[in-house]
Structure 1
Amino acid sequence: MHPAILGIVTIAVGVGACLSYFYFSNQLLDKVIFPAKGPNAGRNINRANMVRPWLFLFPALFALSLYLAYPVIETLRLSLTDTRGDGSFIGLQNYVSMSEDPKFWEAMRNNFLWLLVVPAASTGFGLLVAQLTDRISWGGIAKSLIFMPMAISFVGASVIWKLIYDARPEGAEQIGILNAVYIWFGGVEPQTWLTVPFWNNFFLMIVLVWIQTGFAMVILSAALRGIPEETVEAAIVDGAGPFKIFFKIKVPQIMGTIVVVWTTITIATLKVFDIVFAMTNGQWETQVLANYMYDKMLRGLDWGMASAAAMVIMLLVTPILVWNVYNARKEMR
């Protein structure tokens, strides 16, 4: 079937199914389960009105259960199962084996390093750009350019930066910008930046910072614009300089938004996979938890160990996610 026709049919069937569900479920509720007639008509109407919201919520709850709750439960089950043997229950053995794997601790160390650098750098640069672009006439253009990386997929951004880090043999023309600049400033030979232990992690982090700075800028720019002008004007009258106004007046008033942005980027950082996979595939001591899980699942075919790694990621993300939701709700009050 032609893709356009298939799309139209899918929309028609989907919309028709939704309308049919809501119509017939209401008919069943009002005429069969709680009929609005007889001596109990008033009570039945009240009961039907109590149940009706759940009819509308059921499709969403079912989808969430199917695509979110079930995978979590199944992943937990697999993490406690011998998936490479007879499929028997082995308790925490997969977690014990994972804790004895040096690659797991390498991934944990690198994830911790990413958490220290990326959220802080992205939020800091985003706040700086949001403040500076509000003071120039072409600030809208600058914001558009800085936000543009958000429209690029992580893999696309990784390919761009891999070209920036590219190294050609000594004497050949360098197409990688970083090596071209390095040679121009007197470097002896091109560097394979992504193979340098420890520092290569920072070269990978730059990609995520480049992407997330635009996100932080947009949210924090809106927060800065929401600051009452009276507080800034009062500070100016009292003789406060630009730095004092920024750090003592503006930043405290948007601290809740800064925390939300920070935690959102933290969650994205904990789940980082695409950048590492596309640029180094976890080699040269750049392994992270998501890439470790991928290696165990699809290369090692050890679904139990991979599921254990997935549960570790979930346990690390959940407290931050809860904190993020809490702060977001507090901001909306």
Structure 2
Amino acid sequence: MQQLIYAIATMIAGVLGCAAYFFGSNFILDTIYPAKGKDAARAARNMRRAAVIRPWLFLGPALIALTLYLVYPVFESLRLSFLDKGGQNFVGLFNYKWMIADQQFRESILNNFMWLLVVPAAATFFGLVIAVLTDRIWWGNIAKSLIFMPMAISFVGAAVIWKFVYDYRDAATAQIGILNAIVVWFGGEPQAWITLPFWNNFFLMAILIWIQTGFAMVILSAALRGIPDETIEAAVIDGANGFQIFFKIMIPQIWGTIAVVWTTITILVLKVFDIVLAMTNGQWNSQVLANLMFDWMFRGGGDFGRGAAIAIVIMVLVIPIMIWNIRNARKEMEGR
């Protein structure tokens, strides 16, 4: 209850603080540069100056926050990656050489690569199929709401839910895990699914696919609604069946949106951390880059150099995809 009270108080204070800043900054600016007065030329000049300054008053806090929490950490991580464990002595490229030779780092890279192959493709595919199907049924909006609901759950919360899905009990004990209950019902043996090397990665991927399918569905559904009805009607008149309309009419027209959704999920996959931490903590060959960075940075006494070097690798992998995604999104907007 105390934590709930603190959270509510924080939200109220934040909203009131934003309102106070909005009205206060406007009042001060209008006081310094009054738009009224006997001198019409001066009043006009004040209005122009205020118009130039006002946007920066509103952008200022956001720019300061971005600089403090995004820009500064990038340069600080880059600096730390060239330092030793304590972040004091310069060691050059030692941390990067260590990464290349480290078995866990190679395992993390391989696992991240598998996540990149499976999760964006599966989430985008399921989102697209569901978007098409739900647009054809009267209760489609209800179905969309249910499918989108996992997006409101934190990754840790989703991992806790799926722990019950994968839960394992001895064969002589009643299974409370949904997956093992189904396996036992069909006469199979229960398995500790998340401890199976290699395969456990796919069980973890299912959680992120479950979450991100709703995101893909919403974006792609909006894109599908933008396809002119005349195009579909002309295809039907020409004798095209449902599959031909889907693959030859719909997908080509929303390909740009599909690419944006795909790359957005790809960026998320490169930074995946919470699910692995909550489910396996990187054990049983399920380690990923972000979790490995967390281990080196904050556990076992901490190694700021190695942790920062892994963070730089993640950033280098994300940046090209992010740039391509932004450019593609801009082209999509300009095309419309």
Give the alignment's TM-score, normalised by structure 2.
0.88
CA offsets per residue over residues 156-206 of structure 1, 9 Å max, x none?
11111111111111211111111122122222x321111111111001101
CA offsets per residue over residues 43-75 of structure 1, 9 Å max, x none?
998777656654553333222211211111111
Q: Which residue of 2 aligns with 1:34?
A: none
Please state if 1:97 is matched with 2:74: no
Q: Which residue of 1 aligns with 2:166?
A: 165
Q: Which moved more, 1:107-116 or 1:64-73?
A: 64-73
CA distance, structure 2, for counterparts of residue 252 and residue 6 of structure 1: 47
Q: Which residue of 1 aligns with 2:73?
A: 71
Q: CA deviation at 1:220?
A: 0.8
Q: Which residue of 2 aligns with 1:151?
A: 152
Matches within 5 A, 1:241-256: 241-256=241-256
CA distance, structure 1, for counterparts of residue 43 and residue 221 of structure 2: 56
Q: Which residue of 1 aligns with 2:200?
A: 200
Unaligned segments of structure 1, at least 5 residues? 32-36
CA distance, structure 2, for counterparts of residue 77 and residue 151 of structure 1: 36
- Name the SS for the 1:276 alignment partner: helix
One-letter identity of the residue aligned with 1:65? T
CA distance, structure 2, for counterparts of residue 227 and residue 322 of structure 1: 27
Q: CA deviation at 1:121?
A: 0.3
- Name the SS for the 2:286 alignment partner: coil
Q: Which residue of 1 aligns with 2:307?
A: 306
Matches within 5 A, 1:86-165: 87-165=88-166
Q: Which moved more, 1:108-117 or 1:294-303?
A: 294-303
Q: CA deviation at 1:327?
A: 1.6
CA distance, structure 1, for counterparts of residue 174 and residue 66 of structure 2: 53
Q: CA deviation at 1:17?
A: 3.8
Please state if 1:294 is matched with 2:298: no
Q: Which moved more, 1:50-59 or 1:98-107?
A: 50-59
Q: Which residue of 1 aligns with 2:232?
A: 232
CA distance, structure 2, for counterparts of residue 224 and residue 167 of structure 1: 42
One-letter identity of the residue aligned with 1:137? W
CA distance, structure 1, for counterparts of residue 9 and residue 129 of structure 2: 49
Q: Which moved more, 1:258-267 or 1:43-52?
A: 43-52
Unaligned segments of structure 2, at least 5 residues? none
Q: Which moved more, 1:245-254 or 1:322-331?
A: 322-331
Q: CA deviation at 1:223?
A: 0.9
CA offsets per residue over residues 288-319 of structure 1, 9 Å max, x none?
00100111111130011111111111111111
CA distance, structure 1, for counterparts of residue 15 and residue 142 of structure 2: 38
One-letter identity of the residue aligned with 1:193? W
Identify if the C-alpha distance between structure 1 residues 258 and 6 changes in structure 2 by more than 3 Å, giving closer, same or farther: closer
The CA RMSD over aligned residues, in Å, is 2.6
CA distance, structure 2, for counterparts of residue 231 and residue 43 of structure 1: 53
Q: Which moved more, 1:11-20 or 1:59-68?
A: 11-20
Contact 2:282 2:288 in 1 (8 A): yes
One-letter identity of the residue aligned with 2:114? L
Contact 2:29 2:50 in 1 (8 A): no
Identify if the C-alpha distance between structure 1 residues 166 and 246 changes in structure 2 by more than 3 Å, giving closer, same or farther: same
CA offsets per residue over residues 106-161 of structure 1, 9 Å max, x none?
00000000000000000001101111111122222221221121121111111111
One-letter identity of the residue aligned with 1:73? F
Contact 1:25 1:55 in 2 (8 A): no
Identify if the C-alpha distance between structure 1 residues 165 and 228 changes in structure 2 by more than 3 Å, giving closer, same or farther: same
Q: CA deviation at 1:235?
A: 0.8
Identify if the C-alpha distance between structure 1 residues 6 and 208 changes in structure 2 by more than 3 Å, giving closer, same or farther: closer
- Name the SS for the 2:313 alignment partner: helix
Q: CA deviation at 1:256?
A: 0.8
Give the alignment's TM-score, normalised by structure 1.
0.89
- Name the SS for the 2:118 alignment partner: helix
One-letter identity of the residue aligned with 2:224? L
Q: Taking every aligned residue pair, what percent have the same amino acid on both sides? A: 62
Aligned residues: 325
Identify if the C-alpha distance between structure 1 residues 20 and 234 changes in structure 2 by more than 3 Å, giving closer, same or farther: same
